[in-house]
Every structure is written in C-alpha cells, then in structure tokens.
C-alpha cells in the first residue's frame, strides 16, 4: 500500500513535516549558532527540485502541514521557486498549510510573493524590541529590517506569530512590552524555553540562560489575568488567553512539560536526513534513495522504515543536570537547532 498514511509505533499519525532548506543564516543568535559556524558544502544540500520531491512524497503519505525552516530559509537561493511549486499541493487540497519560520530579515522583500503562493501565516523569531539587545543576541542582525518585514507580512495579509525564546537576564524585563506590542499589532505570541542544543560549541551555556516558562507564565497571569484555552494548532504549544487584552499566548515547554505524547511531526534536514525526534540522535538518510532512482518507491520505503522507528519521546531534563559544573544536561543534544530546523 504505497499511499497508506504514516502511523508511528505509538499510533501517532505523522501529518506534519518541518523541512530545513539550508543550514546557513545571516544571523548568529547566541543560543543557536557559534560565531564561526562551519557550513555544509553546497553539493551536500538537496537541490530545490529534490526538496520539492521529498516534500511531495510526504504529502502523498498524508502530511497536511509543511513548514519550511533552516537556518534562515529566506537566504536559500531560489527559495521562492520552491514555494511556488509547492503551492500546487495547496491548490489540489492535498496540503492544508504551507508555512515557514523565519528571522524576518528578508521578509520585506518576499512577503507579497509568499502570500501569492498561499502562505497564510508565518512564524517570525524575535526575542527583543530593543535595537542594541537585538544586535547582541543575533550578533549579526539588525532590528529595523525585521520590523519592516513583519509589517510587510501583515500588510500582505499573512498572519504573524512571534516566537520569543525566554532568556533569563535578557528579555525578562521585556515580557510586558513584547506582549503589549503584539497585542497592539495583532500578532500571536509564543514563548519557547531555551533548549540544550549544540552545547559543544563552547558558547554561553544554555543552562545559565534557562528561564522556566512556569515563572514567565505566572508573571503574565498576575499582570493580565489568564484563562487556559483548549486551542491546539497541531504543535507542541499550549495556549492561554490574557483576560486584559484577549490575546492568545502560546508556551512551548519541552522541559517543564513533556509534549511527546501528541507528537505528529518529523524533521528533515537540508541534506535529506530525517530526524524522527528533535531530542534523539536516530535519523534516516533519505538523500540516497532520492538520488538512487527517479522512481519514488525506494524513497517512500525509506520514509516508512524511518517512521516505524520513531521513538516515544525526548529526554531533555535540566533538573538532571550533570555535576561538576560542566553545564551538561541530561538528554542534551550535540546538534545545533539550525541543523534540525528548530
Ligand atoms: N532562522 C529561522 C528563525 O530564526 O526563525 C528559522 C530557524 S530557527 C533554528 C527556528 C527557531 O528555533 C527560532 O524560533 C529560534 O529562536 C529557535 N531556537 C534556536 N535555537 C534554540 C534553542 N537552543 N532553544 C530554543 N529555541 C531555539
Ligand atoms: Fe539563524 Fe534562526 Fe538560528 Fe538565529 S535562530 S542563528 S536566525 S537559524
């Protein structure tokens, strides 16, 4: 049954693919990349045609939501042609949602074209509204073009969700100003706990940056009043409504709340490696079957074999941090988020 849907060993249907189209980025966010990142040789990357073929194979197997990510997806040369060709799956009804996660730096240039491809909502990462702090956390980024990009997306009719990594001692003091700005602009807002990725790069330790969302949430509740809402968007976020503003706020809490039981997703890297879990090392190479034959049968067989070993969940846990001041965390992953596509 070539087209039977993908169901993993824990009876979870796999309906969501996150696809990284590049490991490169025009920023060097401190929690994501080291300043001197080594990037992959271009020949290792899947071509735009291969990325389309890979996505289309997943869509033929029941994937309904496709998120393009990276690295920074909008720095991949020719990226618009990928969106343009993938939009056929929206038109056919095979795909519900074609979206991307971006740092926003190139968004002003692409917003109208993305909207024309059927992109209805996007995630933009933004950790601060203060220019100098933005420059510090992204190392290479500038705030103004990102704000212009967000405005352009809104003007193009794309709904914007701001993703903010909660960073102790960095954006604690902007919790209310970020929330109020999103309320004023009509953007959704989700906070993310910093995850122990890529610790090997010897950068500021993720452990020292960890600001538990339980604390962040309590601060929001005391300022605005808060009601839990059952809203689920097919992702790991849990949502509340702020009583004072009516806005929905999401929390992605891999460390204080394990969301694996409802996991519906897999991640493909820009080299065609399929990670069945963000927090585990097991992966399947899809580039070889993709390149071995113009027929999709070997590719589909490789996808099925990979889904058949999707693990139950991740093991991140800051409370089990190792002793001796190593900063290492139980379940920590040596990969950078930009590698697996966040
Ligand atoms: N460049 C795009 C962007 O920044 O939105 C897409 C890729 S980025 C790797 C995807 C998301 O991962 C961003 O929202 C970023 O903030 C988040 N991220 C990166 N490293 C992280 C970490 N160590 N812990 C939690 N989130 C992280
Ligand atoms: Fe680039 Fe996104 Fe990583 Fe920042 S979080 S360095 S913008 S890939």
Q: Is 140 helix (H, G, I), strand (E, B) or coil?
A: coil
Buried-exposed string 51-65: b where 16+ CB fall within 10 A, e elsewhere: bbbbbbbbbebebbb
pLDDT score at 317: 52
pLDDT score at 262: 82
Q: Residue 25: nearest ligand to its CA?
A: 2
Q: How far is the CA of 103 from the centre of ligand 2 (A)?
A: 7
Res 321 pLDDT > 50 = no
β partners of residue 243: none
pLDDT score at 197: 63
pLDDT score at 320: 42
- How far apart CA 128 and CA 305 sit, in angstroms, is 42
Share of the chain above pLDDT 70, in %: 84
Between residues 335 and 320, which one has the greater pLDDT? 335
- How far apart CA 6 and CA 1 sit, in angstroms, is 11
Q: How far is the CA of 203 from the centre of ligand 1 (A)?
A: 16
From 37-41, 125-129, 188-192, 258-262, the region with the lowest mean pLDDT:
258-262
Give tens-digit pLDDT for 227-274: 999 866 556 788 999 999 999 999 987 655 566 788 899 999 999 999
Res 331 pLDDT > 80 = no
pLDDT score at 322: 43
Q: In testing the pocket of ligand 2, which one of 22, 27, 165 has its CB within 8 Å of the most ligand atoms?
A: 27
332 confidence band (pLDDT: 50, 70, 90): low
pLDDT score at 326: 43
pLDDT score at 312: 85
Q: What is the mean pLDDT of residues 219-226?
A: 98
CA 241 to chain centre: 23
Q: Residue 342: nearest ligand to its CA?
A: 1
- How far apart CA 153 and CA 247 sit, in angstroms, is 19
Q: What is the mean pLDDT of residues 205-217?
A: 81
Buried-exposed string 78-99: b where 16+ CB fall within 10 A, e elsewhere: ebbebbebbbebbeeeebebbb
Q: How far is the CA of 23 from the centre of ligand 1 (A)?
A: 12
Which residue is closest in CA terms to ligand 2's atom 3? 32
21 confidence band (pLDDT: 50, 70, 90): very high
Res 52 pLDDT > 90 = yes
Atom of ligand 2 nearest to the CA of 101: 2
Domains of the chain: 16-336 (3.20.20.70)
- How far apart CA 248 and CA 264 sit, in angstroms, is 22
pLDDT score at 232: 67
195 confidence band (pLDDT: 50, 70, 90): confident
Find, among 190, 174, 176, the residue nearest to 239 by Cα.
Answer: 190
From 79-83, 161-165, 195-199, 281-285, the region with the lowest mean pLDDT:
195-199
pLDDT score at 1: 53
pLDDT score at 83: 98
Q: Residue 26: nearest ligand to its CA?
A: 2
Q: What is the mean pLDDT of residues 135-159?
A: 97
- How far apart CA 179 and CA 190 sit, in angstroms, is 10
333 confidence band (pLDDT: 50, 70, 90): low
Q: How far is the CA of 49 from the centre of ligand 1 (A)?
A: 25
């Amino acid at each position: 049954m070539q087209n039977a849907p993908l169901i993993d060993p824990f009876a979870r249907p796999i309906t969501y693919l996150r696809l990284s189209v590049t490991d490169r980025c025009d920023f060097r966010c401190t929690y994501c990349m080291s300043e001197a990142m080594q990037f992959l040789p271009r020949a290792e990357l899947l071509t735009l045609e291969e990325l389309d073929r890979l996505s289309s194979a997943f869509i033929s197997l029941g994937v309904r939501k496709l998120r393009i990510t990276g690295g920074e997806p909008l720095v991949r040369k020719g990226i618009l042609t990928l969106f343009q060709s993938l939009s056929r799956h929206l038109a056919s009804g095979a795909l519900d949602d074609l979206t991307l996660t971006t740092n926003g730096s190139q968004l002003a240039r692409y917003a109208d074209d993305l909207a024309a491809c059927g992109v209805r909502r996007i995630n933009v990462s933004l950790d601060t509204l203060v220019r100098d702090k933005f420059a510090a956390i992204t190392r290479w980024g500038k705030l103004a073009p990102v704000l212009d990009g967000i405005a352009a997306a809104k003007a193009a009719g794309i709904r914007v969700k701001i993703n903010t990594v909660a960073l102790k001692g960095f954006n604690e003091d902007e919790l209310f100003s970020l929330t109020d700005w999103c309320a004023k602009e009509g953007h959704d807002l989700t906070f993310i706990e910093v995850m122990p990725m890529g610790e090997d790069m010897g950068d500021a330790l993720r452990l020292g940056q960890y600001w538990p969302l339980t604390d962040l949430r309590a601060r929001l509740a005391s300022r605005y009043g808060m009601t839990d809402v059952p809203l689920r968007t097919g992702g790991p976020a849990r949502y509340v409504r702020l009583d004072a503003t009516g806005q929905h706020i999401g929390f992605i809490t891999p460390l204080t709340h394990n969301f694996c039981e409802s996991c519906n997703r897999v991640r493909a890297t820009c080299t065609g490696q399929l990670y069945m879990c963000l927090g585990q090392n097991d992966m399947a190479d899809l580039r070889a079957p993709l390149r071995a034959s113009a027929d999709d049968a070997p590719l589909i067989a490789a996808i099925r074999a990979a889904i058949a070993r999707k693990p139950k969940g991740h093991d991140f846990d800051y409370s089990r941090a190792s002793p001796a001041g190593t900063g290492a965390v139980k379940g920590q992953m040596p990969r950078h988020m930009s590698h697996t596509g966040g």
